[in-house]
Amino acid sequence: MKLNTKTYLYTGVAIVVAGGIGATLWTSQNHSNSPLAKLNTPSGQFKSIDTFVDHPSSNTPTVRYTLTAEAKTLNLGQGKTVQAMTFNGTAPGPVLTARQGDFVEVTVKNNLNVPITVHWHGISVPGAEDGVPGLTQDPIAPGGTYVYRFIAKDAGTYWYHSHVNSVQEVGAGLFGGIVIMPRQAVTPKPNRDYTVLLHEWSTSSNGQNGNMNGMSMGNMNMGSMNMNTPSPRTDGFHVSNMDVSALNEMANSYDAFTVNDTANGNTLFNAQPGETVRLRLINAGNTTHLMTLVGTQFKVVALDGHDLSNPQRIANEILPIGAAQRYDVEFKMPSSGNVQLLSADQSATERMELQATIGEATNGTPMASPSSILSEPWFDFTDYGNSDSSTTSSFTLGQHYDKTFGMNLGLGMNSSGMTYTINGKSFPDVPPLVVNNGDTVKIHIQNNTGYIHPMHLHGTSFQVLTRDGKPVTGSPVYLDTVEVFPGETYDIAFKANNPGLWMLHCHDLHHAAAGMDMILQYSGISNPYNMKDMSE
Ligand SMILES: [Cu+2]
């Protein structure tokens, strides 16, 4: 979202107040709709966000990559082509890999005619490297170059994408996977390790020119627009009619669905009988996909890059993978025959195109019918694995928290149409969540809409404490994106130990573009950038 108001001055100088005030406090705001709070700290000292770096630039990176953003016409198969924005000529862009502890340097060149940035989704990068225009950097202008540097602290499956007009730019292909391998593997390495990015496309849109009028909120086909407020859930995990309706929200917005670079449904991942396989499923789109594996039992070994403890084998379960989320699954290939990754999505096009085979090439005939898959239960992470292991719980519901916040997700209207709100306001009018470095933080999220909101926090992963009031009883679960279905509530908690200015927003990028964004603001940090450039 482009901010369209003029004054977002935010400097330390302007907000030093007379001494004697010992605590962080809000000062009166000259402009009601700055997404940052004007606040003073006990010392009155501010550091600029651009000083929050991991490493002096003189140090030598362990791994170096270059991503060049460029326009290209892509053939997705099935007779479908798209005017794409790509990194290095492909969408997804190259899978970047590093080992835990590596000093990663990525040089981004922008050969497009629109500004871009790169955000490292799920990685706890330092505050200056988060890739949010107007908040942590200036946008990378056409013809420009920008260098990102961070230490890959945590192993796991992540992804990267532009954070400028993301509905258009991520939608048109500016995304890719990034995998951080553990420094010391705790479990045997699988024989095969594949990164699998799911994406949906509107092939009639012209990504190169950013001319995607069919996708703008003002005239977007909202499917079954539902302005009713769902009742809060009390029954935990039961798929309701409202969920089914919410899954269909974007049904008419997209006409091609890809597994990695193809929509032909014939993506083949080689594997021999008896081998172990890890699939790193990354949802790089805006809609939830109901995926499953047939032909094998499998384990969900990680969510959003974080290992689950003692995951048990399951079979015939649907994995509801929300926008921006990652599921790492592992399985053993059967002694004969293939394994298939299938979709139980409602549209036949999605089911045909979001399909892959692991093993040997076949004619692509699905090994299970849609109706049989749809009768399967949904994977429930709140009761999976167990906590009696090395993956420890950091937080409990009843403990003391330094800061407690509530987020009510709702709907509103303005002159350009429907808006998505947090506590009744749309970005940039949503007040920030202000924390001090070191705070323990708990957030209660409630979805009062008939839509799915995959809520993503930049900079820090959070532990999921409850869903619909019921505690997580299996493995501790750490996510960076929690998919909140209609009527659901979640309690999440984290330690604020990565100082910065971090966006907290819905990763249905249409919703983000229409207001469902806010900022987690650490006290004592100033922003030298022009907040008019802010974009989800
Ligand atoms: Cu949303």
Residue range 227-272, pLDDT digits in tens:
677 777 765 567 888 888 888 888 778 999 999 999 999 999 999 9
359 φ, ψ (degrees, to nearest 5): 135, -120
DSSP state of 523: T
DSSP character string of 27-53: ---SSTT-SS--EE-SS---EEGGG--
Query: What confidence category does residue 6 fall into, taking pLDDT thresholds of 50, 70 and 90?
Result: very low
Comparing 92-96, 386-390, 396-400, 509-513, which segment has the lowest mean pLDDT? 386-390
146 φ, ψ (degrees, to nearest 5): -145, 145
For residue 259, how far is its CA from the centre of ligand 1 (angstroms)?
Answer: 23
For residue 448, how far is its CA from the centre of ligand 1 (angstroms)?
Answer: 11
For residue 483, how far is its CA from the centre of ligand 1 (angstroms)?
Answer: 9
For residue 452, how far is its CA from the centre of ligand 1 (angstroms)?
Answer: 6
Distance of CA 475 to the CA centre of its chain: 21
CA dihedral over 274, 275, 280, 285, signed as positive or negative:
negative
**Exposure of 503 by Cβ count < 10 A (0-12 exposed, 13-18 middle, 19+ buried)?**
buried
Rounded alpha-carbon distances, angstroms, from residue 158 to 155, 234, 280, 318, 342: 9, 32, 9, 22, 22
CB atoms < 10 A from the CB of 52, how many? 20
Comparing 256-270, 293-307, 386-400, which segment has the lowest mean pLDDT? 386-400
Alpha-carbon distance of 182 to 279, in angstroms, equals 16
Query: What confidence category does residue 364 fall into, taking pLDDT thresholds of 50, 70 and 90?
Result: confident
- Of 30 and 244, more confident: 244
For residue 56, how far is its CA from the centre of ligand 1 (angstroms)?
Answer: 38
Joined tokens for residue 144: 């420009």
The domain limits of the chain are 13-45+396-533, 63-186, 196-203+255-383
The CATH T-level fold of domain 13-45+396-533 is Immunoglobulin-like (2.60.40)
Encode 158-202 in three state secondary structure.
EEEECCCCHHHHCCCCCEEEEEEECCCCCCCCCCEEEEEEEEEEC
Which CATH superfamily hosts domain 196-203+255-383? Cupredoxins -  blue copper proteins (2.60.40.420)
The CATH class for the domain spanning 63-186 reads mainly beta
**Exposure of 335 by Cβ count < 10 A (0-12 exposed, 13-18 middle, 19+ buried)?**
exposed
Instruction: Check if 63-186 and 196-203+255-383 are the same fold.
Output: yes
For residue 451, how far is its CA from the centre of ligand 1 (angstroms)?
Answer: 7
Encode 381-427 in three state secondary structure.
HHHCCCCCCCCCCCCCCCCCCCEEEEEEEEEEEECCEEEEEECCECC
Query: What confidence category does residue 302 fall into, taking pLDDT thresholds of 50, 70 and 90?
Result: very high
Q: What average pLDDT does range 323-349 have in this prediction?
A: 96
For residue 409, how far is its CA from the centre of ligand 1 (angstroms)?
Answer: 8
For residue 214, how far is its CA from the centre of ligand 1 (angstroms)?
Answer: 19
Q: Please report the pLDDT score of residue 152 as a whole number.
A: 95
List Cβ neighbours of 18 (8 Å cut-off, separation of 6 or more).
none
Q: Please report the pLDDT score of residue 16 as a whole number.
A: 29
Q: Please report the pLDDT score of residue 362 as a whole number.
A: 83
pLDDT tens for 191-224 read: 999 999 999 999 876 443 333 333 333 334 344 4
Task: State whether residue 352 is helix, strand or coil.
Answer: helix
pLDDT at position 132 over 70: yes
Amino acid at 303: L
Burial 157-174 (b: 16+ CB within 10 A, else e): bbbbbbbbbbbbbbbbbb
Q: Please report the pLDDT score of residue 528 as a whole number.
A: 92
Task: Report whether 146 contacts 108 (CB < 8 A).
Answer: yes
**Residue that is written with structure tokens 């970005």 in the block:** 427
For residue 1, how far is its CA from the centre of ligand 1 (angstroms)?
Answer: 14
Distance of CA 318 to the CA centre of its chain: 20
Question: Rg for the chain (alpha carbons), in Å?
Answer: 22
For residue 411, how far is its CA from the centre of ligand 1 (angstroms)?
Answer: 10
Alpha-carbon distance of 304 to 159, in angstroms, equals 10
What percent of the chain has a predicted confidence (pLDDT) above 90? 73
pTM above 0.95, yes or no: no
Q: Please report the pLDDT score of residue 249 as a whole number.
A: 84
For residue 525, how far is its CA from the centre of ligand 1 (angstroms)?
Answer: 28
Rounded alpha-carbon distances, angstroms, from residue 534 to 34, 66, 374, 428: 11, 24, 41, 9
Q: Please report the pLDDT score of residue 125 as a whole number.
A: 98
For residue 114, how far is its CA from the centre of ligand 1 (angstroms)?
Answer: 25
**Exposure of 361 by Cβ count < 10 A (0-12 exposed, 13-18 middle, 19+ buried)?**
exposed
DSSP character string of 127-143: GGGS--BTTTB--B-TT
Task: State whether residue 242 is helix, strand or coil.
Answer: helix
Joined tokens for residue 366: 């699905």
Comparing 234-248, 331-345, 348-362, which segment has the lowest mean pLDDT? 234-248
For residue 292, how far is its CA from the centre of ligand 1 (angstroms)?
Answer: 24
Joined tokens for residue 33: 């709709």
Q: What average pLDDT does range 149-165 have in this prediction?
A: 96
Rounded alpha-carbon distances, angstroms, from residue 451 to 112, 489, 491, 524: 33, 13, 19, 36
| Closest C-alpha to 143, from 91, 208, 69 | 69
CA dihedral over 485, 492, 428, 403, signed as positive or negative:
positive
CB atoms < 10 A from the CB of 386, how many? 16
- The mean predicted confidence, pLDDT, of the chain is 87
For residue 312, how far is its CA from the centre of ligand 1 (angstroms)?
Answer: 31
60 φ, ψ (degrees, to nearest 5): -90, 125
